[in-house]
Amino acid sequence: MSTDILLFGLAGVLVNAAPIIFAVMGETISERAGVINLSMNGTILLAAMAGFVVSVETNSLVAGFLVGAIVGALVAAVVAFSSITLKVSQVAVGFVLAITCRDLSYFLGNPYMGDVGPRLGLAPIPFLSELPIVGTLLFRHDIMTYLSFILIFLAWGYIFRTRPGLMLQGIGERPAAAFVRGANVNRLRYLYVIIGGTLIGLAGPMYSLSVKAGWKGTISGLDGIGWIALAITIFGGWNPLRAALGAYLFAVLQWLGLALQPLLPGIPSQVLQVAPFPLMILTLLLVNIGDTEWVARMLASLPESGRHIVERILRALRAKPPASLGVPFESD
């Protein structure tokens, strides 16, 4: 009995993490190309609202997801134009878009608040879903959750195992070198920022048409997801596999927060829901602290044997951003 609860709980974790996986993969690709898409929090909300409204109006899930993807691509196009062509601060534009798209989603979605819309159904995979344990865990989900599994490996394989993927790393690390090698750095950056934005946009309808079906305005519980996804991207060290691990860890924490609530009646539910944030700060601290000067000095003063262990742990946790992240490229 209790193993069943655990199994369904973990299966739920995989479903809840799916939109975050999409967003984090999108952001990872964009940042690998050297452009921070800070608008993510607003993009997800706007795409969630637009996807929901369109699928309510057309009664078509496909149309909803399509619109979500388009919204993501359009917002990313604004980020790309302002930061690549106009060289405006990526942080400034991204932040303004994050806030504006959020407010826009609340404003435009207002008439549809509380409406009942279509919902993405389960698509158990024949035979595989009958398998004990693994069947329930992996093969009884909706199609977007399956796609999230595939996306992780697709993104990883593309970035690290293909030639264009190598070029993607190049335009984020050393754009000048990539340019000399014949890459049209700015055009490629446009391309990857918009592809990344499309993936981020898909996370929206994944919420409003599946994971948290419906649109409830400010109480949809989606505000903040985008910021978490940004932190997970950093935690993931711009590597899809490690980023996916971060997304699943986050979903496990969310689930534990809900599961533990009956055991801790004194703590209001809102407090447990924010439990991941202190942990997010802590992980960012662990990821970055190895690079600070005082840690290096402290390490040097440690005895030989202890130093090696600490150094190894810090090195395993450390994540270095693409060298030219946030830096505009000029060919002349």
Residues that bind other proteins (CB under 8 A): 38, 78, 82, 85-89, 91-93, 95-97, 99-100, 102-104, 106-108, 110-111, 217, 224, 227, 230-231, 234, 266-268, 270-271, 274, 277-278, 280-281, 284-285, 288-289, 291-292, 294
Residue 159, SS3 per DSSP? helix
Q: Return the number of other C-beta atoms located less than 10 Å from residue 135's C-beta.
A: 17
DSSP 131: S
Minimum CB separation from other proteins for residue 134, in Å?
Answer: 35
- DSSP sequence for 217-271: GGGGS-TTHHHHHHHHHHHTTT-HHHHHHHHHHHHHHHHHHHHHGGG-TTS-HHH
How many angstroms separate the CA atoms of 45 and 223, rounded?
7
**CB closer to other proteins, 240 vs 290:** 290
- Tell the smallest beta-carbon distance from residue 181 to other proteins (Å): 26
Q: Closest by alpha carbon to 45, among 14, 75, 17?
A: 75
Rounded Cα distance, 245 and 194, in Å: 24
Assign 314 to helix, strand or coil: helix
Compare residues 5 and 271 and give the one whose CB is closer to other proteins: 271
CB of 120 to other proteins, least distance (A): 27
Question: Minimum distance between the CB of residue 207 and other proteins, rounded to whole angstroms?
Answer: 18
Q: Which of 170, 177, 215 is nearest to 44 (CA)?
A: 215
Cβ proximity to other proteins, 99 vs 128, nearer residue: 99
The CA distance from 159 to 156, in Å, is 5
- Distance of closest approach, residue 20 Cβ to other proteins, in angstroms: 16
Q: Smallest distance from the beta carbon of 41 to other proteins, in angstroms? A: 9
Cα radius of gyration (the chain): 21
Q: Residue 151 or residue 229: which is nearer to other proteins going by CB?
A: 229
Q: Which is nearer to other proteins, 106 or 248 (CB)?
A: 106
Q: CB-wise, 42 or 175, nearer to other proteins? A: 42
Going by C-beta distance under 8 Å and a sequence separation of 6 or more, which residues neighbour residue 82?
A: 88, 90, 93
